[in-house]
Structure 1
Amino acid sequence: MAVELDPQLMDILACPSDDHAPLRAGTPTDPDADVLTCTSCGRGFPVVDGIPVLLLDEAIPPADSASTSRAGD
């Protein structure tokens, strides 16, 4: 199911990291995912019951950094 948030809310939501970049609905590989993705750092923030969880501790790492961090294991 795709994220359906008020367009005005989407205009003011931003990544909680230091760069505060805008968020977009979905992920690059799955535009219908219940996730908001940072346009700068690529972190994904889950949307649970229609509420975005904008906590860095709960963020999903960007796909490219997840694959590179596993390469060193």
Structure 2
Amino acid sequence: MDRRLLDILVCPLCKAPLVYRRKEQEFVCTGDRLAFPIRDGIPVMLEDEARSVSLEEAEALRKSR
């Protein structure tokens, strides 16, 4: 993923910074607890396409920053 893209992408709902999960190919908003997929190298930043993240998973990501 291009470093410049990582620096400017934010959650489309709350505008918070996102956590990039390379292995899972997704961006996670820990505040909204949504994971946005990356398909064919393109972030899909649509709420309808995002998966819900558990509170525990969001907390673990928040602490790992």
**TM-score bin (small chain):** 0.7 to 0.9
SS in 2 for 1:33: coil
Name the one with the larger strand percent.
Answer: 2
The size of the alignment, in residue pairs, is 55
**What residue ranges of structure 2 are gaps of 5+ in the alignment?**
56-65
SS in 1 for 2:24: coil
Percent identity reads: 42
Displacement of 1:42 in angstroms is: 2.3
Displacement of 1:40 in angstroms is: 2.1
Name the one with the larger helix percent.
Answer: 2
Q: CA RMSD in A?
A: 1.4
State the structure with more CA Rg.
Answer: 1
**What residue ranges of structure 1 are gaps of 5+ in the alignment?**
65-73
**Counterpart in 1 of 2:52?**
61
